Structures are given as C-alpha cells and as structure tokens.
Structure 1
Amino acid sequence: MNGVIEGVYEPVQHHWFHCEQQVDCKDSWFPFSREDSPRLEEAHKHGGTRGEEEMVVATEGRRFDVRLKERRRYAVYWEQPPSEVRRCSWFHKGDKDISYTPYPEHTSLALEEAYMISVTLNDWTRKLEFPTGETVVLHSPKLMTQQQTIPSKYWISFPSASEQSRPRTVKRGMEGISIEIPEGEPYQVDHLVFMVHGVGPACDIQLRGVVQCVNDFRDASLSLLSSHFKQGQDGAHMGRVEFLPVNWHRVLHGDATGVDEDIQRITLPSISRLRQFSNGTVLDLFYYNSPTYCQTIIDTVASEINRLHHVFLQRHPQFTGAVSLTGHSLGSLILFDLLTNQEIHNTDEKISSVSSPSEATSINFESFEKTLRNCGLGKFFQMLTKEQMDLESLALCSETDLKDLGMPLGPRKKIMCLLKRWREKQESRTGTSQPVPGVPGVYSQVQEQPMLLSDAPSTSPVDYKYFDIGIGQVSIVYPQLAFQPQAFFALGSPIGMFLSVRGLKRIDPKYSLPTCKSFYNIFHPFDPVAFRIEPMVVSPGVDLPPMLIPHHKGRKRMHLELKDSLMRVSSDLLLSVSTLRGVWQTLTTLPVNTLPPVASVGTTAALPPQESEGSRAQNGTVPPTEMKNISFGMLNGGRRFDYVLQEKPLESFNEYLFAIQSHLCYWDSEDTVLLLLREIYEGKGILL
C-alpha cells in the first residue's frame, strides 16, 4: 500500500434530532430521548426493506408522530406546523454559538465517507468543498474545522462576514459535544390532566402559548416524580402524569366568529399597541359574559376536552387511570361553570323525571305535530317521526342528540326552549320538579339536592333566579363531558370574585360539584386576579388563613422563616411587657378596701391575656384546637381547598412590582406541580 499504514475504522453512532423555531425565529435542534432515538433508528433500518411504504413512529410520550420517509414530526393533540427531523452524526459550532448544530444528512454522509478514507489511508490533508460555500478540513481524528468562503466584495455590505469566515468547530458523533439528551418518559400513564388557559393567546411572562407552558409543566412533573416519588417508581407502582393543553382563544378569535374584524372596525387608531393588547386579552372577559360568545367558549372547551380525551384513549388503550381538570385565570371560571352544570348520568332517574304522555296532554299540548307547528318547527315533524319520537322521547333528548339528527342550530334552540316551558308548566301544576333532560340547571321550587349558592343579597334589585343556573351565569346550554373528573385545580382563579359579582354571598356547605368531588383553589399571595373561596363556605366571622403550600425542597423559604421568627419574638416581647406592667400595677395599687366602688369608676379593667385571646377567637381568629370543629363544606370532600404559594425572596421586597408576574407564575412553579402530583397520587395510596 505504498507505505501507508491502514487504520481501523468504526462506524459512527447516529442520533435523531428535531427542529423547533424559537421566539427569535431562529431554528434550534433538540435531540430525541434515549428511548425514542433507538426506536427511530431501528425503524429506519427496517424501513429500507419495506419500499415506499411510510413508517410512523410515536415519540415523546406518544404526543408526536415521526414519519420517517418525510423526515417530519407531527403533533397529535394540537395544531402545530410539522418540524424537520434529521438522522445526525456530524455537528458544527461557531465561536458565539451556544450549542452544536447538526449537518444535513447528505452532508453527513459525505463527511463520513471522507473520514473513513482518511482513517483507512491515514491521510489527514483532505478538504471537502460543498456547493453552499463551506469547506471542511480534516486535520486529524480530533481536529476538524469548517471554513465559510465569502468573496471579499461582500464584506462591506455584510459587516459580520469576517465573523462568518472564522473557522467553525466540527465534531463527529455525540461524544465530546455538550448536548443534554433527555432520558425519556415512562410508557405507563397513571393520570390525565387537561389544562385550560386564561385570557389572551400568551400564558406566561415570556409571552408563550399554552402548548409551550404545558410542556414545561409536564417536564417539571417528570423531574419531581423522579426526585420525590423515587420509592414508588422503583416499586413499579408509578408511571407518569400526562398534561394536555386546551386552547379556546384560537377558535374565539378565528375567522368563524369574526369578532376581531368587528372590534377592529370600531377601535380608535391612537395607542394602537395598547389597544391591540386589550382587544386580544381583556375583551375575553366581556366575550365570556356575552350569551353568544359564552356559548362559543363553553362549546369549544367542552368539545376540545372530549376530543383530546378520545384521541388519548385511542393512543393509550390500556389506560385505566382517572382524569382531572386544571384551569388558569378565566379558564378556571370556564371549567367551574361547566362542572356546575354536569349531570350525573342515571337512566332510571331521567326516565322517572319525565312526565307521562297523559301528563303531557294535561299540559295542553294537543298533539306532537301541532305543537311543533305552533313553534315553527313543522317541517321537522317527519324527521322526528322517522326516528319514532314523540313528546316523551323528545324530552329525553339533549341538544347533542338533536345535532346528531342533522337539525340546525336555530331549531335546536327552539326545542330546548319548548322543553323548558313544558317543565315550567308542570311545576306550576304539581309544585315539584326534576331536572329537565338537555336543559341543565333547571330545577323546581323544591330542591332535592343542596343549592350551590344561597343568601342572595336582599338589597339587589336583580332576580338571579331568572337565570337558568341560579348563580348568575349566562343562560346557555352547557355540554356534557365524556368522563367524570377526579379533581379540579384552579390556578390564580377569579371564581370567588365572579360569584360575588353575580350577587351571591355563600356557598351551601353541603354542595359539591356534581361529577367532581375534589376542588383546589391555588394562588400566589400577590396575584391581583386571584380570590379566595373558603370564606364563602365557612361560618360567618371565621377568619382562617389559606393553607401554605410547602416548598418543593421540603421547607419554608428562609425569608418566611425569618419573618415568622421575628413575629414570634415580637409577640413574646409584648407578652413580657404586659406581664411586667401587670406586676407593676399590682405593686402600686392601693389596698382593696380603699378602692372606690366599680359603679363610680365608670370604666372596666383590662382583660387578662387569656380573656383577650378568647375574645380574639370570637372575633374571627380561630385557635388550632378549634380548627377541627370548622366545616369546610363538601367542595373538596370536607377538606380545605384554599392553598397559597410562598413568595420568593425578591418578590417580597415589592409586591406591586411583581403583581403581573405573580399571576403568570403557575406554569413554571414547581411547588404548584408538586401539590398536583401529591393530591393525584394520594388517591392511589402513594405518598411523598
């Protein structure tokens, strides 16, 4: 071989990457996990024997599908442009780059072929020139560089051309490059959580959407599961919790509703940026209080949750866990209104709640056909009779059933109104009532289940019973979810404020959400949008601080412990001063027989410290010994449900400065994630 020493060549190990566009519109490449990349590589090797047939590999907890022939990665649960996928083996990095960037596959093949020849022939003076202008020089197995060739005539027009002409470091394989490869996710899913966002398209202080925020929330849960629930995972009793985003803002502001165009026509041209921000965020609150758009929002949230639930069960056929709901800001109010109008499905109760045909006749519905014609629905008589329906069977139908029959929206609403009037006539005749099928929230004068809210203010001129639901909600048709949630977590929620604004003072302690038995109201102490709910349930005059959420590292933050210590020291000093004052008064007072009568003094003596504490307890501050005697209602099964996060040390310096950030902090709060995981797995008998 002309004196050339032949080397030993070892094939390079490939790893799969996918591309994502960042906020600055730059493409960043992220590696697939240690579980997904080998499966992609195995499918790639077997794909060569299957011809043109497309191979699809589920990755990242089965939330994405990778089509190997297309080299594209598609989202399964939400709308997202497909991203490029590469089988990578060669990487390059500039002086100012943070991470290595993989070469295209055809470039990597050319580099690998040149490397193989150099190793085999021990010839390290090779240069590879590519049509794009790059030149890669193989100096040695450990030293390889890339030179960008830029003509000097372009240097003036491109000031950074000199920087681009600097050599870039080239690496072969994953060894020696600083890229963190994720370990992957457990295949088993123990619990499913749907997360509904609040106002506007952005969810956090970085102006990211709900998908990115939920991804971070999920990553935090995986990290906490591995660190705090390690014993459970080692015992093979735990998998993971899947979090899926629910986006309703896109539908509300889409072309179908046309609300953005209508608002834009009447928007003033001044301070355009502020007005655009207000139109896209703050107006969502007003849309939700509009009967037209409230129906759109509720239908979108319910249908999207049911769709995601159906797709999830298709991709996880062995899933046997429960489902929970999480809402942030306005999203929590949407879920609360939706859950208060869920029906417990019981066929026997539904049948017994509907009057018989003889009762229908006594309510002056002369005939099925004539009733429909009187309501302008005569042309639908044949459609309904074809399905063998009469007044009794029609009363059993929900709006979804009528929609499945192909009935338009307008006639469906008329039939729902017809059923409502039918029930009202029966109430006036019998004085009793049962829920009307398909018209949630309509009850009789005598309620068999606890009222959600009571004690409406007597000074209010508005009759809140006018509304179908009875709690001041907009009168719309609330769809039903395809499952019964285990728990409902409200983050930074204005539920308490909205209930009060609707004219309601107290929640009946016996009330619980019809299909959800656990409820948690989680908030940051500086959140300007969040409100408490426990004071609306406990007895009037009882003042209880919210439950403090433990820090995820297992203790209070240092500044809070210092604050508590100072408060204890100050209280001890006050007690000592009061004790010394009492001793001094005892030494300086006159004998008892020289004191004037009490009636002539006209004042009362100061109460001893024990009596003062007792009076404070009567004024609202509850001693710990009496805490167990307080009823917190059935919203959370008799347990407390107001939970407050611990503010960070920097936030405690100025609560006004961090107010907005406090409302958006829940998506990346590990304390919030740990609370959700603790409550979810507590029901499975797995504790921290």
Structure 2
Amino acid sequence: MTSNHNHFTSPKIKWFYAVDVANSKPSYYNYTKTQEPQKFIPFSDYDSLTIENTYQKTPTSKVLVNEDKLFEADLASMEISPVYWEGPTYEIRRGLWYKDGVPLPTETGIEIEEGYEFVKPYLFNQVATIPPDVNEVTTENLASKNEEEEEETKPDEKERVDMYTLKSGQTILYFNDKDAVIIPSTYKTKFQLNVVRTLGSNSLLGVYRIRRGYDDHNKKANEKKQTEVDEQKQDEQETTTRDQLENEVKEENLEQDFDLDTSKEESNREIDHLVFCVHGIGQLMGSKNEAYTFSHSVNLLRKVMKKMFNDRKEYQDLVENNDDPLNNRIQVLPITWRHKISFNPKRTGNDGNEDRLPSLAQINVDGITFIREILGDVGCDILLYYEKEYLLQMLTAVTSELNRVYSLYKKINPNFSGKVHILGHSLGSALTFDILSGQSGTIKNGTVNLENQLVFDVENLFLLGSPVGIFKLIERKNIYARNMANPAQEPGTFVSPKCQNLYNIFHPCDPIAYRVEPLVNPKFGDFKAVNIPFAVKGGISSHLEKVAQIGDIISTKLWIGSRNMQKKDSSEDDNDDDGAKIFKKREIHGEQLKQLTSLNASGRIDYALPMGMFDISILSALASHLGYFEDENTVGFIIRQLLTKRDKPLEKTVASLY
C-alpha cells in the first residue's frame, strides 16, 4: 500500500449552534418553528473541547458554555438555552461531516461515520482523486451517456465497495479519506451512480458533496455560507414592507449579544459584584418582538460594560490585585417577571367556570389601534401597580425570581462571596424599592405580606428612570435610612430601603423619572442633582462638558472665597449665606449630610445624565427612558460606583443650587 492514509484517522470535531431559527421559545411567545436553521456558528475552541470530552464520557449530559457560562448545552436534546433566564432554545450540532462548511445534523453525521468505518475509504488507492464539481449536468448529457449504457438494473452488491446506504434511503458515496457525496434514494441504477463517480456532485441533481472533519476548508466554507445567509436576509428585508419590518422578530441576539470566542480564563473569571437587573413597564411587547426583550437589554449592558472597562484604564485601576486586567469582576443578570402576572391585554378575566369579564383588547376602540396596543402593553403595568391583587403578584414574582436566580448562581458558582446589587428600571425600580422597604403605600396599612423575603443582602440599589419619587409623594411618605428612622415618628409616614447605598439615576428628558432627595428632606429640593459626566470624550459632548465644567469651577472658587470672607459658622445647616445666593452653591455638612450619607456614602442620591444638544423632543423623551442599558454615560457611572472603595466617611460636600 503506497498511500500514507493506510489506517483510520480520527477527525477534528467542532461543535456548532444555530443562531437564526429557534427550536422553541417560552410559552408566552406562542411560537411555532416553521423552517430549519441555516446559520450555524462554532463554539469557541475551549467550549467545543469541553463539550466533546463530556459527550465522549456521558452523551446525555448538560454543559455550561459561552460567555461567563451563561448558556447550557443539553447533549440529550441537542439544544442550547440560557441558564438564568427564560429564552429561546437553538439546535446544536456535533461537527463531524459538513456540507458547504455547515455541520450535518449530529445523528446523520454519526450514521455517515459508521459507513466510513465500514467502507474504509482511507484505504482507497486513489486517495487524492476526487471528481471535480461541474457547473451543470443537463438531461441531454445524461441521455447521451444513457445511449451507451442501457442497463437499468441495480448494480451488483459486490460492486458497492465505495457506498453505504443510510436509514433514510440516501446513499453515501465515499471518494477518499475526507470527501464523499450524498446521493438521493431515487438514484438506483448503475449508470446514475457511475455518472456521480465520474462527474462528482451537482446540486441540481440533488447530489451534495460533504467533507469529513473540521479543517481550514470547512472553516472557510462555513464563513462563506454564513455571509451568504446574512446577505440573503438583508435582501429580503429590503423588499419587505415597513409594517412587516416593524413586526419582524429579531432572532440573532444569541450571536450579537455575547462574546463568542471565550477562553478558559474568560469562562471561569472571578466575580465580585453580582447585579440583578429588574425590568419595568412594557415587557409584554417583548412577546411580539425580541428586540424589546429585557434579557436583550441586559445582554447589551453586559457587552457595553465589558467594552468600556477594556478600553478605559481609569476603570481598570479601580480593581485591586486583579490578575486579569480585562476582568471587570462584574456580572449582570436579567430578572423578568411580567409574564408571571395574570393580567394580559388579550386575556379575558376568568370568574369561576366562565369568563365574566372581557379582555382589554375587546374593549379597545378601533381608531389608532397600533398606539392603543402599545398603551395596553406599556401603560397598563402602571395601572396594575395600584391594584392590590396585581401588585402582590408583581412583588411576589420579582422576589421569587430574585431568589431563584441568586440560589442558582450560588449553586453553579459556590465560591462566589462578593456583593449583590439590584438595578431596577422604571416600574421595576419601584417594585424593588418596595421589596427592600418591606412596605408599600399602595396597599392598605402599608404592609407587604410576602410569602418569601430576599435570601441575600443588597449593597447598592440603582434606580433607573424611576417613578419612586412621585409614588412616595402620592403615598405621603418620606424616605429615611434605617439607622436614621425615629421610633417616635408616626408609623406609615416613611419608608426605609434595606440597602447600603441608594442611587437614583435619570435622564433629564425621561418623563417617567422623578427625584428622590427632596423626600429625604424638602430642603434638598433646592439642590440640583449631581451631573454625571460624559463617559466618551471627543466631539460635541466634550465641548458641552468643558463649558459646563469651566463655569462650575469659576462659580465654586468664587463661592469658596466668599465663604472665607463671611466666616460664617459652618454648623448652621439651615441658613444660607450671601455666597450661596450669588454663586448658586451650598455646602452640605452636619445633620443634613448625615441624612444623605446614611442612604448613600457618596453624600448624594440623585444623579442626572448629561444632555445633548438635541435631547428635548418627544422622541428623545421616549428614547431616554428606554436607552439606559446601552448608554455609555449610565454604564460608566455604574462601573465607577461598583468598583470605587469608600473607606473614609464623607465630611462635607458641595451642591449646586437652582
């Protein structure tokens, strides 16, 4: 035997997963799979090797994969799904045999490999020989050859030394140790099979070339195939009507939201800060379009957070004794709850054995239907907050989901001993605030009797675009820290969130957001919220920030000079001075500072995001409320607050006045 391929060789295995068509989705999507996926992308080398090693030992196991092990590959069902939140499942494949660089289904690959071991094409003399692909094989070509070969009977079994029949009836014709073709069951004559042997594969005839093992050839073919799929989708979108585009379901978040090229270090990175993100109003829209799902928003937050940390040394320097300079040691996970609430705009109210009440959709009038549907999906959530039955459902759902995800995270990461934080958006901020306060003015007597309490302590509570301020004002309640609450105060006149630091972050154009500091002390209503600086330098943002900073620096210096000249008694918290009136500055110290630092060690609670030149518009108002999770100014601020250590108590701070 002159061939170097004189023995069976193990191919390089690579695992893949689909990203374009889901196998299934949570029940509230009412999803039915109508087509097979076309776009498969490879797992990272680390994940692929881990999956393959597990598959060889226990082929029905589950393997944690992808960025931060946020997904689970189920080898029994051959599906990948998110670990900590409900989401779509996608098909996974063991890349053994490939067509156009795309792995064939795992079971098909196994069967073709069984034929490979039976036929032993690696022993063929013509190892390097394979018929070339031809652009076209016409019926005329076949007819001319058929005149020469009129035999219509099946070839003798002894002549089938290069073929293997699958259970499906298809035949595999092996050319050498790497190449073969799939022949449809309709090809039964010796003549037809010899044509395939001579001319190779041709898709017009239903004959497809396949290749064994993951190599450069299949890697390049896969990349080319995925590009073709993307271009085809883009062409389809360009010919789609606007209404169809608005309703089109976005199904590529699995590919877009995560770092797919994970390593062992990245998959097992140490986490010091676990942030649970609780969504607000409008998540029913996510059941119609995945671009609105909260898990997608949190995945974007994680992605932006990672990028900003990697690009900015000032953030990296905040992490002490960090062996990995690109590990921000922060993990963010979504907490979804809306689908667990019984009220649904399209669901009727059930009263006993029959529906006594109609659905919201049934009482809608016909005009501006699209806008009314949005209001039903979004606005109703706020109305439900003031109905005892639904509020208790909301509070219970959020508490249960927080505890479930925390317990699961601890089970998967038993060595985690870091701090836990909550980031609540919109109505989600009000729910988490009430859960941590243990009471809500929307319920009679203010007591929330939840079956379960949080099983973990909360370090920082971040309120984003929060209505907590207006809710507590309507409830006629102040906000005090637990160590500042006066037992002599009338019960039910205040709330005290159980957390170390309370942050209220808002965009000035956000119509849902309200301030919180005046509820701590009405005098704080004279203080402007702290301005969060632009996270990204350059362009118009930097110019706007520099102008503001220069004016602020000059004003502060003049005010300090005035203070020194006046020589006022610094203990007079409630008395303003001429410098404050002229230069719009005020020093916070003494009892007032204590009121603020007891709720936030930084000395302030309200933080305003910077405004651009074109922010004052209706569209900007809507965008400002929905865009916190991908806004770099918000993300940069949160990173800094999580990583900054405040070992010394704050003695005084300066606030700008209105």
TM-score of the two chains, using structure 2 as the length reference: 0.61
- Aligned pair partner of 2:323 in 235, 238, 254: 235
Task: Give the superposition deviation at 1:282.
Answer: 0.7
Q: Which amino acid aligns with 2:449?
A: V
- Using the alignment, how far apart are the partners of 2:296 and 2:205 within structure 1? 32
CA gap 1:167/1:566 in 2 versus in 1, 3 angstroms = farther
CA gap 1:333/1:88 in 2 versus in 1, 3 angstroms = same
Q: Which amino acid aligns with 2:403?
A: N
- Using the alignment, how far apart are the partners of 2:183 and 2:531 within structure 1? 58
- Using the alignment, how far apart are the partners of 1:43 and 1:526 within structure 2? 52
- What is the aligned partner in structure 2 of residue 78 from structure 1? 85
- 8 A Cα contact 1:541 1:620, kept in partner: no
Q: Which amino acid aligns with 2:93?
A: R
- Aligned pair partner of 1:540 in 500, 523, 527: 523
- What is the aligned partner in structure 1 of residue 294 from structure 2? 210
- Using the alignment, how far apart are the partners of 1:476 and 1:491 within structure 2? 23
Residue pairs, 1:384-399, within 5 angstroms:
none
CA gap 1:669/1:571 in 2 versus in 1, 3 angstroms = closer
- Using the alignment, how far apart are the partners of 2:428 and 2:333 within structure 1? 14
- 8 A Cα contact 1:124 1:138, kept in partner: no
- 8 A Cα contact 1:203 1:210, kept in partner: no
Structure number, greater radius of gyration: 1
CA gap 1:44/1:639 in 2 versus in 1, 3 angstroms = same
CA gap 1:137/1:211 in 2 versus in 1, 3 angstroms = farther
- What is the aligned partner in structure 1 of residue 433 from structure 2? 336
- Using the alignment, how far apart are the partners of 1:119 and 1:188 within structure 2? 54
Structure 1 SS opposite 2:424: strand
Task: Give the superposition deviation at 1:288.
Answer: 0.7
Structure 1 SS opposite 2:462: strand
- Using the alignment, how far apart are the partners of 2:616 and 2:121 within structure 1? 60
- Name the stretch that deviates more: 323-332 or 174-183: 174-183
Render the CA deviation track for 1:312-371: whole Å, top value 9, x for unaligned: 222222222222111111100111111111xxxxxxxxxxxxxxxxxxxxxxxxxxxxxx
Task: Give the superposition deviation at 1:57.
Answer: 2.2
- What is the aligned partner in structure 1 of residue 63 from structure 2? 57
1:316 partnered with 2:413: yes
- Using the alignment, how far apart are the partners of 1:241 and 1:203 within structure 2? 29
CA gap 1:524/1:300 in 2 versus in 1, 3 angstroms = same
Residue pairs, 1:197-596, within 5 angstroms:
197-201=279-283, 207-227=291-311, 228-229=315-316, 232=320, 234-235=322-323, 240-253=329-342, 258=349, 262-341=359-438, 467-469=444-446, 476-478=448-450, 480-503=453-476, 507-508=479-480, 510=484, 513-537=496-520, 540=523, 543-553=526-536, 555=537, 557-565=538-546
- Equivalenced residues, count: 492
- Aligned pair partner of 2:262 in 151, 162, 182: 182
- Using the alignment, how far apart are the partners of 2:340 and 2:603 within structure 1? 37
Gaps of 5+ in 1: 49-53, 94-99, 150-161, 342-439, 442-463, 470-474, 575-612
- Using the alignment, how far apart are the partners of 1:466 and 1:58 within structure 2? 42
- What is the aligned partner in structure 2 of residue 194 from structure 1? 276
- Using the alignment, how far apart are the partners of 2:339 and 2:522 within structure 1? 42
- Using the alignment, how far apart are the partners of 1:220 and 1:569 within structure 2? 29
- 8 A Cα contact 2:480 2:599, kept in partner: no
- Using the alignment, how far apart are the partners of 1:31 and 1:552 within structure 2? 34
- 8 A Cα contact 2:6 2:122, kept in partner: no
Structure 1 SS opposite 2:639: helix
Structure 1 SS opposite 2:340: helix
- What is the aligned partner in structure 2 of residue 461 from structure 1? none
- Aligned pair partner of 2:214 in 173, 185, 188: 173
CA gap 1:548/1:133 in 2 versus in 1, 3 angstroms = farther
- What is the aligned partner in structure 1 of residue 105 from structure 2? 104
- Using the alignment, how far apart are the partners of 2:616 and 2:125 within structure 1? 63
- Aligned pair partner of 2:580 in 608, 614, 617: 617
Structure 1 SS opposite 2:585: coil
Percent identity between matched residues is: 24
Question: RMSD of aligned C-alpha atoms?
Answer: 5.0
- 8 A Cα contact 2:534 2:545, kept in partner: no
- 8 A Cα contact 2:283 2:338, kept in partner: yes
- 8 A Cα contact 2:72 2:83, kept in partner: yes
- Using the alignment, how far apart are the partners of 1:541 and 1:118 within structure 2? 87
1:636 partnered with 2:647: no
Render the CA deviation track for 1:60-85: whole Å, top value 9, x for unaligned: 44544333233233444333454322
- Name the stretch that deviates more: 136-145 or 17-26: 136-145
CA gap 1:560/1:133 in 2 versus in 1, 3 angstroms = farther
Q: Which amino acid aligns with 2:639?
A: L
Q: Which amino acid aligns with 1:477?
A: N
- What is the aligned partner in structure 2 of residue 38 from structure 1? 49
Render the CA deviation track for 1:10-61: whole Å, top value 9, x for unaligned: 754322222345699884434334432221111122237xxxxx32323344
- Aligned pair partner of 1:656 in 618, 624, 643: 618
- 8 A Cα contact 2:533 2:545, kept in partner: no
CA gap 1:203/1:678 in 2 versus in 1, 3 angstroms = farther
Structure 2 SS opposite 1:235: coil
Task: Give the superposition deviation at 1:519.
Answer: 0.9
1:69 partnered with 2:76: yes
Gaps of 5+ in 2: 23-30, 134-162, 186-202, 227-259, 351-356, 486-494, 556-575, 648-658
CA gap 1:222/1:165 in 2 versus in 1, 3 angstroms = farther
Task: Give the superposition deviation at 1:171.
Answer: 10
Task: Give the superposition deviation at 1:88.
Answer: 1.9
Render the CA deviation track for 1:72-101: whole Å, top value 9, x for unaligned: 3344433345432211256566xxxxxx74
Task: Give the superposition deviation at 1:465.
Answer: 12
- Using the alignment, how far apart are the partners of 1:521 and 1:166 within structure 2? 63
- 8 A Cα contact 1:202 1:210, kept in partner: no
CA gap 1:561/1:6 in 2 versus in 1, 3 angstroms = closer
CA gap 1:476/1:224 in 2 versus in 1, 3 angstroms = same
Render the CA deviation track for 1:506-538: whole Å, top value 9, x for unaligned: 545845835212111122233222222234435
- Name the stretch that deviates more: 56-65 or 226-235: 226-235
Render the CA deviation track for 1:179-210: whole Å, top value 9, x for unaligned: 96233433433232221111122689974312
Structure 1 SS opposite 2:262: coil
